[in-house]
């Protein structure tokens, strides 16, 4: 997740990154040069939440096919489809949460 400041507003956003193969589950050994870990991450896609408000949280279960991500942005619950052929996540389903005062 990230925060962007513009015109005295802060907008939070999120992205999905892929870890290097040597750090994925099943490998408990650290690479020789631990300082290179962050540099080897691969950006898969940004979650474009500009139409839904500030991103509050993201949940992803990579153990299945890893193609779905759920996020919460202001009063919206979003289900994202991570398309393998693209670097863009598509909002598959949007649920607007009603807040009662």
- Contact assessment for residue 73 and residue 49, using Cβ atoms and an 8 Å cutoff: yes
Residue 7: strand pairing partners: none
Q: How far is CA 45 from CA 8, 19, 61, 90, in A?
A: 26, 13, 16, 10
**Digit-coded pLDDT (tens) for 25-83:** 655 555 555 554 455 788 888 888 888 888 888 888 777 777 888 889 888 898 888 87
Q: Is 36 helix (H, G, I), strand (E, B) or coil?
A: helix
**Digit-coded pLDDT (tens) for 4-17:** 555 667 778 888 88
Q: pTM of this prediction?
A: 0.62
Rg from Cα positions in the chain: 16
Q: Is 22 helix (H, G, I), strand (E, B) or coil?
A: helix
């Amino acid at each position: 997740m990230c925060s962007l400041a513009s015109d005295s507003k802060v907008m939070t956003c999120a992205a999905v990154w892929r870890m290097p193969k040597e750090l994925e589950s099943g490998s408990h050994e650290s690479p020789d040069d631990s300082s290179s870990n962050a540099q080897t991450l691969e950006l898969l896609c940004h979650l474009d939440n500009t139409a839904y408000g500030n991103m509050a949280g993201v949940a992803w279960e990579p153990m299945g096919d890893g193609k779905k991500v759920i996020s919460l942005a202001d009063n919206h619950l979003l289900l994202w489809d991570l398309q393998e052929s693209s670097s863009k996540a598509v909002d598959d389903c949007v649920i607007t949460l009603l807040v009662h005062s």
